[in-house]
Chains A and B, each alone.
Chain A
Amino acid sequence: MLEDLKTQFNVLKALTIHNLQGQMSSYKYGFAWMLLEPVIYIVGFRLMRQFFGNLAPPSGMTPLMFYILGVLPLYLTFAGIRGFSVGASQSALLAFPRVTPVDLTLAAALTSFCIYFVLFWIVVLPVSLYEHVWPPENILKVMLGLIAAWMLGVAFSFSISGAFRVFPPVKQFVSYLSFGLRVASGMFFCITMVPILVWPYLSWNPLLHVTELMRDGWFESYVSPIASPTLVMEWIMGLLLLGLSIERFMRRVPYL
């Protein structure tokens, strides 16, 4: 049993390193592009705030850190979600009898976690020092938020990869969903900035809880009225159960 676990760990490690080495290999500046996209978002939101005063974060939250804590966890989630196509496609790596589609999906998820986790701290450290909000109030809560964001993405990707294998246009729906989640998940607002009337509807979204957890964990002055780690865990467990059940069924189905 322990030997099998060790082998599983080594397979995931080998695939993750293989993915990291192949990441952005077709682009001349490699990982610089990964940094560029979220930075453009953060700068964009910061500039919008100059023009729309009502987008200003509640008192005590510094503007750049406010957007960073909204944007980067969501990037981690969306990178995890994008793993659905890895599990659903017939990768060349599946020619290795010891590699399964689950390994490939997990390795893709670990790859994105490595990249965005490092990216998060590379961006957050200098910005928080510049805005005098270092150190975070509760670093464990921040870490929990990051890991929860990633796990939500992974769980969601497992759930949709089965559907994508039998019905490829699902990809299109995923992009609509991603757009909706980007808008509704607290990238550029926190729950206290919206009318109390809509809180019960918005708080169904686990990603909003993640961004709330991040800001609650970082800023001393902000206590989120809705952030619930339990709800996020429930979503993760539910989606994982659904996704892994679908995967177990789909492994007996030939590729299209």
Chain B
Amino acid sequence: MTLELRNVTVRTRGTISPVSLKNLDIRIEKRDRVALLAPPNSGLDLLVDVICGRDAPESGRVIRGSSISWPIPNKSFFHKHQTFVANARFIARLYEVDQNTFISRVLEMAELAEIAEERVDHCPAKAASRFAFALGACLPFDIYLFTSTNVGEKEDREKYGEIIAGMGARSGLLIATSSGKAAQSYCEKAFVLDPAGAVYYDDIDEAIEHLQRISKRAEEAAEEELLPAEEDRVFDDF
């Protein structure tokens, strides 16, 4: 029961500065709590798409031997003109679970009972964020895939943090993030997505150090790219 990426290469397309991640070999067991760490805009979203099957890799294979969630808390599939209940019903149908039980669990976890029959676009974004989280958290998966662990308002963070930790105790967690803090809170292992390939760490702190190093390098490279453009502009103005 694993999720495995064998020699996977992904590359962004249709962008001015393409990003590629090459020769990724990643294996995640059922109860692993693993972070995928990469600096911002370095192809992590693309890798998440490949993991959940939304996109195909340039080369290599993705083997899903376990049930894996969609990227939580993804909200892009919501029908915003519909109510929270109608959106939850769609997920219940899709994952073949009892609708009433699922909906009541989701509403309870997201604390939305009072506005359950309101249109999603008429409600605060934080409510939608809690709802998106609860939709995934109330379903049984072997591996939960997270793209953000910041759910709801600041005062809700502790509650949802405990829920994520609970999910990690009974199933696998895969947190794709650029934030070392989120990885440190929930994960015990990490893969750092270096341009040279995925580097595996047993020690999460070492992984975070590596992430900070490559993030700094990426920032410096971005600044260097910007500098000539600035000079050109001054020259053009002159």
A residues apposed to B, CB below 8 Å: 7, 10-11, 13-15, 17-18, 21-22, 25, 90, 92-100, 251-256
Contacts and interface: CB of A to CB of B under 8 A. Distances in A.
Nearest to A92: B76
Contacts of B94: 10-11, 14-15, 96, 98-99
Interface in B80-126: 81-82, 86, 90, 93-96
Secondary structure of the B contact surface, majority rule: loop
Interface stretch (B48-56, B181-189, B194-202, B212-220): B48-56
Query: Interface range on chain B: under 10, 10 to 19, 20 to 34, or 35 or more?
Result: 20 to 34
A94 B77 CA distance: 9
B93 A95 contact: no
B27 interface: no
Contacts of B90: 14, 17-18, 21
A252 B96 contact: no
Given A21-B82, A21-B86, A22-B79, A97 B52 contact: yes
Contacts of A253: 56
B7 interface: no
A15 B74 CA distance: 17
Nearest to A99: B94
Nearest to B10: A254
Given A17-B90, A256-B14, A94 B54 contact: yes
Interface in B188-234: none
A100 B54 CA distance: 8
Contacts of A96: 52, 70, 77, 94
Nearest to A251: B56
A7 B96 contact: yes
